[in-house]
């Protein structure tokens, strides 16, 4: 459940925490409970302030890269999600075409008021974004998805909640960028030469036809060296051709566990949003500490 809420935890967990603690302090106010409530408020606000500031700085400190010229590593991209049919999936609740979904299903017993979660899920299908310089696949697994479109519907005793990112919309991604194939292909000349020679050995007649220069029916040491050099030339030519091809760009969760964000907001609006929340949590911290000192 925590992974599903990470993109919203400031708005949900901390806000609910503030209200719950304040309500508890007002309804059951005693000297000791008042101090405890203020300590809890300060602890939540410190955690939230550090987290929002961390996200704000990560977005502010990294310039948006163009897909076609992005460096390998931790980058920020901002492009448009492809609307091609191959890029679309359907939400299991509403059947809406989208590029990413997350959903919860709740039920309510007749004898109870509260909703009980009965199922939930999140998509892990890659989708494509592009800018004027190129295209990039986005692997959303383990991402914090910020500001998706939220839809709530009711069917009998069930409540359906789903969050969607749509094709054709702008998408911001902060994660680890890499290029598979093309100029970044990892190639091993020695291993590939050995594999090619092994393949040639499977057809002895053709091998002798090419390299048995003295016609004695055997490949001697000198002739085998010629075969090895010929194989190396073929492999080097093949590697040059592979590196000329266009690689596939992909952005995914960083291996060093840095932030992996996906959002329908622009980087400027996302940074401003975290900045406002950072200010709010800092004010809550100052107020709770100030009131605590005043009560003492």
Q: Where are the domains of the chain?
A: 2-181+247-295, 190-239
Q: How confident is the model at residue 25, as a pLDDT?
A: 60
Identify the pLDDT of residue 2. 46
Which pTM value belongs to this model?
A: 0.72
Return the axis-axis angle of helices 31-61 and 15-27, rounded to nearest 10°: 170
pLDDT along the chain (296 residues), means of 10: 50 62 61 70 84 90 91 95 92 94 88 82 94 94 91 90 94 94 74 90 88 84 89 87 78 92 93 90 85 76
What are the tokens at 35? 């101090």
- Tell me, what's the pLDDT at 3? 45
Q: Residue 65 has what pLDDT?
A: 94
List residues bridging with 120 in a β-sheet: 104
Cβ neighbours of residue 266 closer than 8 Å, sequence gap 6 or more: 78, 170, 172
């Amino acid at each position: 459940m925590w992974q599903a809420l990470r993109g919203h935890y400031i708005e949900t967990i901390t806000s609910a925490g503030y209200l719950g603690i304040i309500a508890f302090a007002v309804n059951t106010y005693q000297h000791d409970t008042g101090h405890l409530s203020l300590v809890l408020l300060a602890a939540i606000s410190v955690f939230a302030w550090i987290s929002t500031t961390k996200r704000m700085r990560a977005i502010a400190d990294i310039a948006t890269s163009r897909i076609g010229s992005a460096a390998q590593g931790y980058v920020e991209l901002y492009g448009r999600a492809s609307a091609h049919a191959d890029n679309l999936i359907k939400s299991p609740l509403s059947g809406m075409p989208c590029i990413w979904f997350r959903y919860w299903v709740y039920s309510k017993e007749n004898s109870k008021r509260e909703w009980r979660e009965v199922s939930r899920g999140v998509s892990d299908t890659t989708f494509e974004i592009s800018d004027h310089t190129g295209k990039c696949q986005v692997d959303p697994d383990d991402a914090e998805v910020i500001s998706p479109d939220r839809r709530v519907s009711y069917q009998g005793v069930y409540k359906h909640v789903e969050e969607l990112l749509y094709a054709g919309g702008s998408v911001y991604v902060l994660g680890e960028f890499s290029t598979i194939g093309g100029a970044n292909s990892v190639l091993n000349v020695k291993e590939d030469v050995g594999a090619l020679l092994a393949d040639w050995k499977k057809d002895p007649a053709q091998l002798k036809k090419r390299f048995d220069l003295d016609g004695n029916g055997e490949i001697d040491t000198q002739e085998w060296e010629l075969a090895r050099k010929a194989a190396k030339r073929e492999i080097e030519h093949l590697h040059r051709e592979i590196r000329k091809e266009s690689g596939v760009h992909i952005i995914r969760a960083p291996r060093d566990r840095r932030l992996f964000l996906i959002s329908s907001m622009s980087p400027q609006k996302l940074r401003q949003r975290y900045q406002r929340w950072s200010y709010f949590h800092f004010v809550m911290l100052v107020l709770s500490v100030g009131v605590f000192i005043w009560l003492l």
